[in-house]
Amino acid sequence: MEKKTIWDLGRDTVDQYRARPKLPLVVVLDNVRSLNNIGSIFRTSDAFLVERVMLCGITATPPSPEIHKTALGAELSVKWEYFPDTLSCIDRLKEEGYTICVLEQVKESVALQQFRPDSHRKYAIVAGHEVHGVDPQVVNAAHTCIEIPQFGTKHSLNVSVSTSVALWHFFSTLYLTEM
């Protein structure tokens, strides 16, 4: 098999990408400390047509060479906003009609494979700090918590990996089924 070239892939320019319709989906980063994780989440958000990324608390913002290192320019194509605290971001998203879905392991969580996004709703996926997870106040403010089942010896995935898995689930359900 021959590998596809950059021309075969037919990627949009940043301006073309920004003009494309996006999924009714927002990513909220609650105090994510690693700039590499932030960049990776921007890159995945670009791949899956995420509307915007909300950077909250200690989460760093572009421009940043460290974010760019893993985002590879996706921090320029994906819209983003900064909030000093995550709860004010959540409040605003609720006012805008978003269903808040926290990626967290709690007793009332729904397994990701059992969660079925509704194509008539808007969603925000909240991902948290690499060690402490999503702040408990943010968890309590959410409409639901989603958990990615784990079967190995570790209790969780890296925040950028878990966000990517969740984004794929929403994208494949909301976008690919509409094609």
Reported pTM: 0.95
Residues 53-89 as b/e (b if ≥16 CB within 10 A, e otherwise) read: bbbbbebbebeeeebbebbeebbbbbebeebeebbeb
The mean of the pLDDT values for the chain is 96
Q: Is the CB of residue 118 less than 8 Å from the CB of residue 67?
A: no
Over 60: is that where the pLDDT of 107 sits?
Answer: yes
Q: What is the pLDDT of residues 111-144, one digit of tens each?
A: 999 999 999 999 999 999 999 999 999 999 999 9
Domain boundaries, the chain: 6-178
- Position 178 confidence tier, pLDDT thresholds 50, 70, 90: low
Segment 46-73 shows an average pLDDT of: 97
For residue 166, pLDDT beyond 70: yes
Is a pLDDT exceeding 50 seen at residue 104? Answer: yes
C-alpha torsion sign, points 170, 142, 53, 42? negative
Q: Look at residue 6 in the predicted model and tell me its pLDDT.
A: 78
pLDDT of 179 over the 50 cut: no
Q: What would the CATH number be for the domain defined by 6-178?
A: 3.40.1280.10
